[in-house]
Every structure is written in C-alpha cells, then in structure tokens.
Amino acid sequence: MSSIRVALLFAAVALMIGATVVAQTSTSGTAATSTTATTSTAATSTAATSTSGGSSVQQSLQEILEEPATGETYHYDPQGRRDPFQSLVGPKIAQTKSDKPPGPPGFLIDEIKLQGVIKTKQGLVGMINGPDNKGYLIHVGDKVLDGEVIRITPSSVVFRQEVNDPTRIERYREVVKDLTPEPAKK
C-alpha cells in the first residue's frame, strides 16, 4: 500500500511541475494563470486522495472493474475448430440414474446390445437390449443419450455418436452394432 501512496505522490508532484512549466512558457498571462490554477487544483485533489488512504484508489479501481460490458465483448467463431480458451479437461456433466430419461433416449450407445432386425412395411426396425435388460424397438432417427440412429441394415444398426474429444475436429463418429459381432482376437 505504501508503494501506491508514493507513486501517487510522485504523480502529483510531476503534475504540479508540468503545470508550472506550461504557465511559464505560455505567452498570455491570463491563460497561464487559468491553466496553472486548473492543473494545481487537479494536482491538489490527487495529492489529497493519496494522503487520505488507498481505500479511495481501490474504490475507483473497483468501479472501473465493475463497469458493465459493452457490445464489444469477446466472441469466438470456431469455424470447425475448438475454442482455445476452453479447458481441455473441462467439467464433465455427471448423470445419475434419476437424470436419464426412461427407455432408449436414456441409454448410451455402448450400453446397447443389438438383438435383431425386423422388416416391417415402414422399413427396418432394430431390436435392442438395454442396460435394464429389457427389449426395445428403435427406428431410424430415434435419439439415444449420446447420439442417434442414422441407418438400419438387415444385419446392423448404425449410430451417430457425439464425440466429446477436444483434440478431434469431427464432432461425430459412426458406431456400428452388428448382429454377428467379430470373434474375440487371441
């Protein structure tokens, strides 16, 4: 705090010296007197502020910092890139069982097991087994918790999964659930 007071005192002295230089170099006597008086008053009020304590300086700094934001606030246009000012580790939203909607809209793609594909008049329908060990029917366009069904073939269901990986440019990836999964590699 004392260094702030000293700095303000030096600023006030420099202001007074500057005012006297302006007064001496001015050609008109009345203009020099009015300039000196105005500058002297400003210097005196600055000196009074510095001697009255750092609290008024802190209050004025606080007022400057608390000014409302103008229309020129920061806005980032990513154009397919991530915002460099957002954390890579970012807070992950933890969902509990009570937060998830019931049925397929509350299932993650990794939790779903494809049990079969049914051919109907409207097209193909996927039969899935959810984490609750119940069977459900899904159609193209149905939403799940982290994606949606984009295609159903006679032997698989293709999901578009939202990727939350800041190092990847693509925001989605395709996940295929096959009826006949590949054999485990030894």
Topology of domain 104-178, per CATH? SH3 type barrels. (2.30.30)
pTM, full prediction: 0.46
Instruction: Give the tens place of pLDDT for each residue, 161-178.
Output: 888 777 778 888 899 999
Please give the average per-residue pLDDT across 53-63, as a whole number.
71
Average pLDDT, the chain: 73
The amino acid at 73: T
Instruction: Give the tens place of pLDDT for each residue, 74-106.
Output: 666 777 777 777 666 554 555 556 677 888 999
Please give the average per-residue pLDDT across 136-148, as a whole number.
93
Beta strand segments in the chain, E: 113-120, 123-129, 135-138, 143-144, 147-153, 156-162, 172-178
Give the integer Cα–Cα distance in Å for 45 and 8: 11
Helix/strand/coil for 33: helix
